[in-house]
């Protein structure tokens, strides 16, 4: 429900209840509950194949749940979600895929949503501002296929930001991204979160975003096995001076039957399991 002042009246930004998703013959999500309150920055963690991408794609309405419900900003997905207030950065897509286009054009496409097929007034300024937020103000006219992979990822983040979203959903935004792009991304997120942005972000490691994360949700085999404090980073594992005195296990308070390593030896590749 949206109130006259545009707020959601205390509704969670994301409210996932009892969601099951089947993909082909696979029962990928098996009764997931996930709530993200306005202003929270929630990291979605878990081994490869645990269902993280499937969950965020369900959250943004790309995949329909076979059971359960998803509400965004107080609106049921599939109904009347104000998509213009939601930004989504999908996993591993190239900004240069498809027809040749400049960084500005890709970013401007983020202003098209729902039934809006024409760019709104002032789109150039908004696209320039979004590119500036990711440190690419001087590359607006550059064809995206001439940008590095990290810069292309920043263009996609700018495409999500150009809407000035209240809720930003990102699927591994810095995977395989060069160091300057990671730092630019972390600086942008710090500023936006300071302004009240709500974030749900799939990550393999907390990395540069560690200080921003307010809560971590860990998936395993399509179920939530931890929802609470983010894991403490194991500092400098590969540093020469690192002293291996701590136990290499997750320090998370997990449910009794499950232990999840987050980058440690307990980490398993779900796809490798029978
Ligand atoms: N289109 C599909 N059809 C059938 N199974 C699928 C499909 N897409 C994904 N899966 C399976 O669903 C499971 C979860 O995949 P998902 O991509 O959500 O995991 P993930 O946690 O995001 O993994 P990663 O960290 O590798 O991105 C995997 O076992 C995957 O093989």
pLDDT digit string, tens, across residues 220-271: 999 999 999 887 765 544 444 444 333 333 434 333 333 333 433 234 344 4
pLDDT digit string, tens, across residues 170-185: 999 888 777 887 888 8
pLDDT grade, residue 5 (50/70/90)? very low
- Domains held by the chain: number: 1
- 184 within domain boundaries: yes
Radius of gyration of the chain (CA): 19
Q: Which atom of ligand 1 is nearest to the CA of 204?
A: 25
Residue 201's pLDDT is what?
Answer: 95
Domain residues for the domain of 53 are 31-228
Within-domain flag for 20: no
The answer to the question of residue 268 being in a domain is no
Domain assignment present for 16: no
Per-residue model confidence as pLDDT tens digits over 92-118: 666 556 566 888 888 888 887 666 667
Cα–Cα distance between 268 and 266 in angstroms, integer? 6
| Phi, psi dihedrals of residue 269, rounded to the nearest 5° | -95, 110
Q: Which comes out higher in pLDDT, residue 32 or 115?
A: 32
The position carrying tokens 């590119």 is 131
Give the pairing type, strands 223-228 and 215-220: antiparallel
Decide if pLDDT at 18 tops 70. Answer: yes
Residue 258: per-residue pLDDT: 32
Q: For residue 255, give every residue at least 6 positions away whose Cβ sits within 8 Å of its Cβ, in sequence order, or none.
A: 225, 226
Distance 57 CA to ligand 1 centre (A): 11
Which atom of ligand 1 lies closest to the CA of 222?
14
Q: 92 burial class (0-12, 13-18, 19+ CB within 10 angstroms)?
A: exposed
| pLDDT value at 33 more than 80 | yes
Q: What share of the chain has pLDDT > 70, as a percent?
A: 76
d(CA 3, ligand 1 centre) in Å: 37
Structural domain includes residue 17: no
State the distance from the centre of ligand 1 to the C-alpha of 55, rounded, in angstroms.
10
Q: Which pLDDT does position 199 carry in this prediction?
A: 96
Residue 259 is assigned to a structural domain of this protein: no
57: left (phi over 0), alpha (psi -120 to 50) or beta: alpha
100: alpha, beta or left, given left = phi > 0 and alpha = psi -120 to 50? beta
Q: How far is the CA of 54 from the centre of ligand 1 (A)?
A: 6
The string of pLDDT tens digits covering residues 53-95 is 999 999 998 899 999 999 999 999 876 788 888 988 887 666 5
Residue among 21, 28, 44, 175 to mutate when testing ligand 1 (max atoms within 8 A of CB) = 28
Question: Among residues 232, 208, 231, 209, which one has the least CA distance to residue 218?
Answer: 231
In tens, the pLDDT along 126-151 reads 999 999 988 898 999 989 888 888 88
What's residue 233's pLDDT? Answer: 62
| Residues linked to residue 42 through DSSP beta bridges, in sequence order | 200, 215
Mutate to test the pocket of ligand 1, among 21, 43, 49 (most ligand atoms within 8 A of CB): 49
* 153, part of any domain: yes
CATH code of the domain containing 62: 3.40.50.300
Task: Tell me how crowded residue 170 is: count the other CB atoms within 10 A of its CB.
Answer: 24
Question: Model confidence over 200-212: pLDDT tens digits?
Answer: 999 988 888 888 9
């Amino acid at each position: 429900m949206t109130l006259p002042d545009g707020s959601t009246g205390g509704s969670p930004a994301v409210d996932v209840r009892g969601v099951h998703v089947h993909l082909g013959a696979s029962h990928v999500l098996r009764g997931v509950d996930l709530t993200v309150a306005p202003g929270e920055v929630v990291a979605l963690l878990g081994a490869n194949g645990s269902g993280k991408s499937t969950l965020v794609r369900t959250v943004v309405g790309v995949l329909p749940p076979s059971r359960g419900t998803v509400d965004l900003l107080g609106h049921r997905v599939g109904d009347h979600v104000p998509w213009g207030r939601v930004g989504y950065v999908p996993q591993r897509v190239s900004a240069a895929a498809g027809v040749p286009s400049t960084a500005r054009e890709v970013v401007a496409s983020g202003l098209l949503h729902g039934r809006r097929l024409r760019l709104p007034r002032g789109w150039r300024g908004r696209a320039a501002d979004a590119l500036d937020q990711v440190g690419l103000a001087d590359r607006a006219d550059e064809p995206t296929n001439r940008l590095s992979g990290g810069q292309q990822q920043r263009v996609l983040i700018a495409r999500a930001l150009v809407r000035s979203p209240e809720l930003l959903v990102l699927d591994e935004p810095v995977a395989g991204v060069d160091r300057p792009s990671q730092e630019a991304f972390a600086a942008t997120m710090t500023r936006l979160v300071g302004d009240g942005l709500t974030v749900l972000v799939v990550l393999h490691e907390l990395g540069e975003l560690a200080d921003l994360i307010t809560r971590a949700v860990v998936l395993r085999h399509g179920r939530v096995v931890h929802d609470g404090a983010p894991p403490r980073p194991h500092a400098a594992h590969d540093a020469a001076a690192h002293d291996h005195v701590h136990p290499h296990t997750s320090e998370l308070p997990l449910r009794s039957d499950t232990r999840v390593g987050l980058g440690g030896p307990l980490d398993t590749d779900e796809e490798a399991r029978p």
